[in-house]
Amino acid sequence: MSAADTKRLGAPRPIRVRAGARGFPAAVGGVAVEAVREDWVVEDRWWTGRPVRRRYFELVLADGRDVTVFCELSRKRWFAQRA
């Protein structure tokens, strides 16, 4: 067994998000967003050369799922994550 067998839990997964007004997600993976339950910003590792700036959204989708996604503010890319 090698280091490759050790796996991080909760790693972000790229996901397709259509952003609507004020940058809020309007659809995730082709499914419309029913409600935005909460949104928050995480800024971390600002003291390093690779700072982390994310805007998280906890969403309820039209099919009933509750998902958490975030937008990487530096590159405007979207990820889903078990937060």
Partner 1 sequence: MIVCVLIPRFALLAALGDRRALLSEPVALAPEAGREQFVGEVSAPAEAFGIVAGMRVGEALSRCPELRLEPPDPEGVRGLWHEVLDRVEGIGAAPESERAGAAFFDADGLQGLHGGDLDGVLAATRRTLGRGSRLGAAACRFAAHCAARESRPRRPPVVVAEADTARFLAPLPAGLLRTRPELAALPDVLERLGIRTLGEMAALPSRAVAERFGHPGLLALDLSRGRDTPLAPRRPPEPVSERIDLPEATSGQQLERALELLIARVLARRERRGRSLRALAVSARFVAGGTWRCAVTLRHASADPRRIGLALGPKLAELPAPAESLGLEVEAFGPPATDQGRLLDDGGAERRVRLGEAVRQARQAAGPGAAMRVLDVDPDSRLPERRSVLAPFPTDPLG
Chain contacts with partner 1 (rule: CB under 8 A)? 1-3, 5-12, 42, 44-45, 48, 52, 81-83
Would you call 70 exposed, middle or buried from its count of C-beta atoms within 10 A (0-12, 13-18, 19+)? buried
Contact 76/18 with Cβ under 8 angstroms?
Answer: no
**Beta carbon of residue 21, minimum distance to partner 1 (angstroms, whole number):** 27
**Beta carbon of residue 51, minimum distance to partner 1 (angstroms, whole number):** 12
**Beta carbon of residue 33, minimum distance to partner 1 (angstroms, whole number):** 21
CA distances from 17 to 6, 46, 72 (A): 30, 26, 12
Judged by beta carbon, residue 46 or residue 63, the one nearer partner 1 is 46
